[in-house]
Structure 1
Amino acid sequence: MFEKEQKIFQNLTIFSKSQNKEEKEEEIIDFSFRIKAIQKIDTICSKLNFQNETFFFAVYYLDKMISSLPLTLKNQSDFAIIACVSIAGKVYEEEVPSISCFQMFFPKYHKKSKSYNQISNLEVELIKIIDSFIPTTVNSFLEYFLSRVSNFSSNDDIYTKMIKLIKIVIKNPISVNFFPSEIAASILSIYFPDDDLIIFVTGYSIKQLEECRNLFNLYNNNLDFKF
């Protein structure tokens, strides 16, 4: 999984480094769009009872799309969200609603054939730019790490709490600086603050995870997610 992660994420440039004020303002707009898009993806996945892995696939595809396509935010942002969730669902869910069902989450586009065609076109573009193999996600690493330290079940309360906190943390633009394995290892180290155990299970030391752990603690200290 680690080798696959390196191949997928090391060249993922979500936002280019801006030099002038106008470009920096555009970056802020992009980050704002990403936060709202992740929230919308979470809402759709929850309403449709999609699995956690589908959510993380959709966010991965969203980042791929943002980094590869010149989206016009006013016209294409909602379509991009639908395309990402739809493709992610096709990868991981047994039954995936049609595009018209996803459009119900965006009433102004519901039952509009032009919108349907634009979403379909974005799906095609997304398929062209995503990797041909299934990406490693935060969730896949978290499940793997947990299986090594306990009799893990996706129904466990601790797993549910971790996923909820991760969904909040990844909205922060700083989170794009960390590999999925770092994010999963960081939240695990907060629950299991044993350096030897974390090194054995994840390959990271707690010191190596310090920056990412600080990001989690920023939210964990202000929310009811005490482990």
Structure 2
Amino acid sequence: MKDIDHKTLLCDEDLFLSSPTSPKQAQNYSFSSFSLNANGILQDQEVEREEVFMDYHRREKDYTPCNGYSMKLDVSANLRAARSKAVQYIIDVCKRLDVSATTVFNAVNYLDRFLSLCSSLKWEIWMVELVSISCASLACKFYDTSIPSLYDLQMEHLEHTFKPVTIQEMEITILKALDWRLSCVTAFSFANLMLGPTRSGPMIDKVTRLLLHSLLDPLMTKFKASIIATSALKCATEEKDGAITMLNKIHVDEMDHVENCTKILKAHLQAIDIAGGGIQVKLVNHCNQSLWPGVQGTGDHPAPNLGGFHMGPMEEAFFEVPFGWSGRVWARQGCFFDKSGNGTCQTGNCGNQLHCNGLGASPPITMVEMTFGTENSSLSYYDVSLVDGFNIPVSMSPIGGGLGCRVAGCEVDLNVCCPSRFEFKSSDGKVVGCMSACLALRTDKYCCTGQYGSPDMCKPTLFSHLFKSICPRAYSFAFDDKTSLNVCKATRYLITFCPPMR
């Protein structure tokens, strides 16, 4: 890694013209509102696309982030949050200024390459905003004919305002870090070339919207630009398409990567095909230990972020799902994973891998369950369940939504009062979970199965009464709906591990 002068990045905050203000929620918009100007589509039909394509393929490695960047995003919630905020700003400001889609992809490319060089920094909000503005400014100067002023670039819900000289110095820092290589090759470069001028407007728009939406997903940083383009075309066109055939030629030995990328992009396509956006879920780890949340979509719903990621103490994470999504979230603890994402956890295991990829959890675990509303029926249902036991205190609360939207949760550490017969211990003898009566005793009566498999026959037991008295806002047995199932019309929710006691 090159030695980078961070003097400008870590500048004195006296350079700011304003102090931080309360953050505002970023505006939602349809990705289809992005315009593709004439420069965004290759118009010269005489150009030998295959020659240009191979040139892109040779050069794409020169415009990728440093090795290990995707893994660092996976394990550092601070870096992941910094990138998310920066990419959202770039998309929002470029949409408002009506610049080309190429400029958006270039700006995010500059951002990822620079962040990968500075991934060990503790990113603060002012640092993220300064780098975001500078990357957007550089991309506009490099590609667009109409260059916005630095004032115009600072109107997008920023908490700080910077002097022009500060932004210009940051631009120089970024340029030096990137070796002045701004004519980058992105997924949009490949898709743009392969679609060409002969394709219909709706097809171009569909692929562009899909690629724009995927920019916000940190998982996409693990794939090469050509693989992302191949996967996007697979999602939007027929398998027999000639462009895909050409792209597949260079991925003969990487088809597993193409399949994994296509799977992720299909989830994005499902989200953007639903008008109005989706549901945002924020996760906060208030525990004094690292956790590895698992996420599982139920039915045919895919899991965001491949179903698993790391969160350090006091770190935050986000994911977005389409309206109508249903699934489960739980915490894994005491995990050890190798560089390939293989490993194991003390509780909450899902196939001995970091990314659960649709697999459920091994009990005992405290389970958060949700079924979000649709456009036609806005009511969302959510709960915290002890039916599969307990491992970590957790709560789920709506952000907004109006009266009647309650907090679901079990905010007490049940491990300290778990009956000895139900204790689940780690290899060193520490109690790390509390099994449910069903898991510990394995009878129809406690599992609500067999002749007890109906609400009339399955009644609360001594053990479910015990757990209910300690955690009254959580399911204590399978048919504990009346006091445990919550309903709300919110579109944003907060899941907190080890929440503060109320």
What range is the shorter-chain TM-score in? Answer: 0.7 to 0.9
Q: Deviation of residue 16 (structure 1)?
A: 6.0
Q: Deviation of residue 107 (structure 1)?
A: 5.6
Distance 2:174 2:125 in 1: 19
Task: Mark the CA change 1:93 to 1:123 in structure 2 (over 3 Å): closer, same or farther.
Answer: same
Task: Mark the CA change 1:31 to 1:121 in structure 2 (over 3 Å): closer, same or farther.
Answer: same
* Bigger Cα displacement from structure 2, 213-222 vs 9-18: 9-18
Partner of 1:185: 230
Larger radius of gyration: 2
Structure 2 residue 170 is the aligned partner of structure 1 residue 122:
yes
Equivalent position to 2:205, from 160, 181, 201: 160
Q: Which structure: greater helix fraction? A: 1
SS at match of 1:215: helix
TM normalised by structure 1 equals 0.82
How many equivalent residue pairs? 213
* Higher relative contact order, chain-length normalized (CA < 8 Å, sep 6+): 1
Equivalent position to 1:199, from 245, 248, 254: 245
Equivalent position to 1:144, from 178, 190, 193: 193
Task: Mark the CA change 1:184 to 1:117 in structure 2 (over 3 Å): closer, same or farther.
Answer: same
SS at match of 1:62: helix
Q: Can you give the 5+ residue segments of structure 1 that lack an aligned partner in the other structure?
A: none
Partner of 2:145: 94
Partner of 2:106: 57
Q: Residues 66 and 117 of structure 2 are in contact (CA less than 8 Å); yes or no, is this contact kept in structure 1?
A: no
SS at match of 1:193: coil
AA aligned opposite 1:125: T
SS at match of 2:260: helix
SS at match of 2:147: coil
* Bigger Cα displacement from structure 2, 126-135 vs 200-209: 200-209
Overall identity of the aligned pairs, in %? 24
Distance 1:11 1:33 in 2: 17
Q: Which structure: greater strand fraction? A: 2
Q: Deviation of residue 71 (structure 1)?
A: 6.4
SS at match of 1:99: coil
Q: Residues 38 and 171 of structure 1 are in contact (CA less than 8 Å); yes or no, is this contact kept in structure 2?
A: yes
Partner of 2:448: none
Distance 1:35 1:10 in 2: 16
AA aligned opposite 1:44: V
Equivalent position to 2:259, from 207, 210, 214: 210
Q: Deviation of residue 33 (structure 1)?
A: 1.8
Partner of 1:172: 217
TM normalised by structure 2 equals 0.39
AA aligned opposite 2:80: F
Distance 1:122 1:132 in 2: 13
Cα deviation code 1:64-94 (max 9, x no counterpart): 2211234642331111110000000011011
AA aligned opposite 1:94: T
